[in-house]
Structure 1
């Protein structure tokens, strides 16, 4: 192989030299190789390589990375057109400019060469000025193409990196909003629960004494009635005026109702504390059903609008999780289900079905299904995107499902949606019983 000058390879990511000219001549006649070498001998910017074995052509081309290939049309072992097709089919050489060399200048031969992928056609041996001009022209075009391809590749890489960065920024923004939201909600709920809990405990604790006092007073009144059957007319008139018999009968009922009311308030306070779980920021084994029930209790004021809750709770073990975060997922999904049902006509039967079960794979599955209007197929793949919402302006941030998705991912689980206008929307959560 004849070689003149050295080819400087450009490593990936380094600026390509568009002035580099590297020529590879493939011809079975050594005299042609010597002749072309002499023609190019005075061109210091051209690195020339020659081989007379076509079988080594592709391997040699891959090795030296020519910017122009001069290829003989007719060779005894491998036809020039066949070798041309091989070059065009190989990923390392498919776009290298190839100039076909032939001793014949017949239109059909030229047409066959161009049809097979040739870039140019010259008669052997061409004029030196024309040969050098064509070599430089094709080499410059090829180097420009490589530079453009490298620039495009860099732009695509930068675009992908930018897209990934934007996704990470969005995810970080959602996490920050989630953290602030949960912190604010937790502090508000904890403060509210604390403020309500103290006076309610005071009232509830005094019911025992109040009940005893009232029973004692009622007992004393009955004793007076037994010991003094002849009642003073003035006392009798006053007893009739205040309806003493009704008071004696109704007062214990009022006391019982008041006690039931304080019990209910205490349940709500406990549910608020269970929902926020500020004292359980770390993962902990909890009863999933308690979290669902606490969330339903908080949403009870919205459920009274003709929405039926159907619970199909399975036999679940304690699940290791981040309770406050998982409760937030329940809140987001149930709130969305209620919003969807409130869009339905009043005469429609509105239902939310909550089902839990333990799977054979050591996970628990929680399904929340409503019979609302459903989610259109073209929107289903977007619902977990941050800030995407189908709700009107000022009625939704588009963060609920995005936050829920991240929380379930943190729990090493999955969240799926299945929706159709014929039956509504179903969200299914799968999380392991124990986190790694």
Structure 2
């Protein structure tokens, strides 16, 4: 039994001496290092014989660390501790150690047993990370200022509320529209800032957004301007925003002042041009629906991006790349919103009466508008147009032809073929109809989607290249304003001894 115990103690001594951790024992009274394992000796460049003269202060410099006497007093109370200190080798190399310290009393003498691991590299990395983090935080703060400026100076009135319907903020355009400053509205409800009849409408509509019954939501109402005691006709677009768990946190609202639009509609008999053809109440619903669909994606992108920045910032995981992507998404969405207004404004400009004109003149006017574009893209036009008089809305027909020709242009632009060609044919059809056929050799439309191309906001193009409303509006104009019909199909044909496939649009109009 005695021999086995001696063997066990020898094994234990060997394990301690060759351990992967730094282990040393210090006499608390004399401050001498009375024992050190192999890793300690190697790290601090001492031999076993030199330990006899090694004072703890030789390797644990007081000016770099908490005084050893202070540590000694703490241990007399706590008996154990975890310390972080800097140690120096004989040649001056500096190491940072994390030590687990235990006070041991042997033969009425106090000894400090320390088991340590080097954390020099870890601390250096943490320092670099902290330094980089501070840089990122500064960048985020700058971006926050930028985004706040972008929101505050957006020409469209914007506000946002929490789930309880209390205002969290608004931009300058909203302040101007309502005559109320942001600091006056923070934490307030609609009943605090709007007349009772208007507030009731807002409140009921907000509930539909919070419950996701309608999100996004769009409706027409009034806004009361407190500073000038006046009401304005507006269109609201509201969308819920969510937390990381998908729970509704509140809503973001956009307000479009349509007072002038409605005024122009009421005065349409006195003016030659109408800014918005469907601004009257009977057609306003359709325009609002179109705008709602067009704004759905960019607003959703802005909401998700803003929420992503906030969430990742709160959890400390926001990366520079992610921040740039979020900001880029918000900027592109803002441009998209502005472009949408222009698209709709141009569409609703219309002539008020039918007139007699020759279809050849219409194509001449249209092709003049597009001649530069076609020339730059090496697109040729083959015409077979009969001279036919027609009574219709001239500007609307030009708009239709422009949309179809632009569609062909976009399809041909992507191709690498010698003969990029658009074919235009127009002739009298039956006894009182005009048939217009516009085709190209761009390869046709995918049969899986050809039935969708007249759907609102359907597009095969990238967002930056198409709004998805061109062909939808084309059909709307032909059907509702020109009292005609439009169809599309793929065709196979030969041209200059070569076989092609293309899309052919056929329009039938009354003469």
TM-score above 0.5: no
Structure with higher helix content = 1
User: Could you tell me the TM-score, scaled by structure 1's length?
Assistant: 0.37
Which structure ranks higher in relative contact order (CA pairs < 8 Å, sequence separation ≥ 6)?
A: 1
Structure with higher strand content = 2
From the CA coordinates, give the structure whose radius of gyration is larger: 1
